[in-house]
Structure 1
Amino acid sequence: MPEWVEIVLRGLLFLVVLFAITKLLGKKQLSQLSFFEYVTGITIGSIGAEVVTGLERNIMHGILGLVVFAGIPFLAGMISLKSKKFRDLMEGKGVVFIKNGKIMEENLKKERYTTDELLELLRKKDVFQVADVEFAVLEATGDLSVLLKKENQPLTAKDLGVKVAPIKEPQTVIMDGKVLDEPLSTVNLSRGWLKTELDKLGVAIENVFLGQVDSSGQLTVDLFDDKLEVPPPQEKPLLLAAMKKCQADLELFSFSTEAKEAKEMYAKNSEKLQKTIDQVTTILKG
């Protein structure tokens, strides 16, 4: 057998073996690696490359080496699930870098981070002033977790006492100009509804690169031709305008009538409608 053919066959075999091992070890191997897992991953790759190109080496020995180095982190992971001390030893612990707006200089030195590097990590979190930070921790994975002081945190609907409807994940109903029926049925919508919405936008399905429906049933589209502008949906603004007009009409009727019962009824319903408008204004404007 020619050497190049054997290299191709060995490469394909080890690609399958490495894929199986990676799937076994889990998604963590792709992102949040501990030091131990990082070293193991490099070693596994080196073994695979050496056996694929080293034709004089026994292929079964290479597979055995991969199994050993893959089995060690797998076993360590199982032990880590049951023992916090072992988990802290293998994966490390978070280190506080900022507390109450003050930098913990000793912790910075211990982890060999400079002030410039800390500021860079903060900027990646859109934080430009240390005094704005209540708490910042360098995680074992090397990421910096930042908690802003209460006065520097963005306002939420809860802070304003506004109740909002829960948001569900958007469903992709059009991809590459083709309708996806399963996501469409997930939100209880039909192709007929989709065609009607596209007609309102003046867009043909085959011209849509991506179409998504949000939790409120709003369709947004991205076209193949980036030069074309899609008009924004008008249903929500029109609904808000209609509600405001109804509230104004009820208030006007309350002022214009002389009948006491009718005046109270109009005024009461005007107040109810105004409260509803206040609750949904943010949603309908969005």
Structure 2
Amino acid sequence: MHTIWKGTISFGLVSIPIKLHAATENQDLPLRTLHNKCHAPIQYKKVCSVCGEEVPQEDIVKAYEYVKGKFVVLDEEELQSIKKELEEKAVEIIDFVKIEEIDPIYFEKSYYISPNEGGVKAYTLLRRALKDSGKVGLAKITIRAKESMAVVRVYEQTLLMETIHFPSEVRKASDVPNIPVVEEVVPKELDTAILLIDQLTTEFEPSKYHDEYRSALLELIERKKAEQTVTPAAAKAQKSNVVDLMAALQASIDQTKPQAKPARKRAPRKKRETS
């Protein structure tokens, strides 16, 4: 399993060298965009919105647009110094709470935690302590230049870290429009709804749920592969400018070459008179 982060996690005076591994993966099927005429992939170029020139990577800088059309340019060195300063900090568990107190709206992404060299004993200690106490640890971590809050908890035999949103990142439910305030529910309809919920209540078994759209798309792709597979048309050989340039230069030379003057006809010699 690929390691995406290395560091330490600590609680109190206990420090554990750890590695993070992504616990989930995106299984979306990537679809390419082709030119319908010749089935060749479409290219996307980075072009300046003002001068229309294609911009190479070395000429691209990052900036923050603080008002429409006004930017603050940020040097890469400045960004890297902030990133390095944050990522060098150890993950410190700052509080322990009950997981039931954290609404699921806060949860973002999950990572498996494995012990790095020399961290097995402390890793085992934290895992057992969390399990026996029924608590989870709240910590801060910086991954890929983004600082996040995180929950450290036990999952099966593994410690799991789940990044969670800061409160400022969660929008207020009171801002959602058209939410009814007064409950006007007919008792009989409510009893029927609760009965339906009871009849559909079961234990959560993740294995019985799957992505139906992905399955249907895979079936469609396999069927299309059997029927026909499109191949992009061969790219046209671009005309070389070297030959054209040489020809143009040679033509220019020929046009400017001074023409040879026609040879002057000599007048016939007069015969010498004899006496």
Q: Shorter-chain TM-score: what band?
A: under 0.3
**TM-score of the superposition, structure 1-length normalised?**
0.18
More strand by share: 2
- Bigger proportion of residues as helix: 1
Greater radius of gyration (CA) = 2
Give me the TM-score of the superposition, normalised by structure 2: 0.19
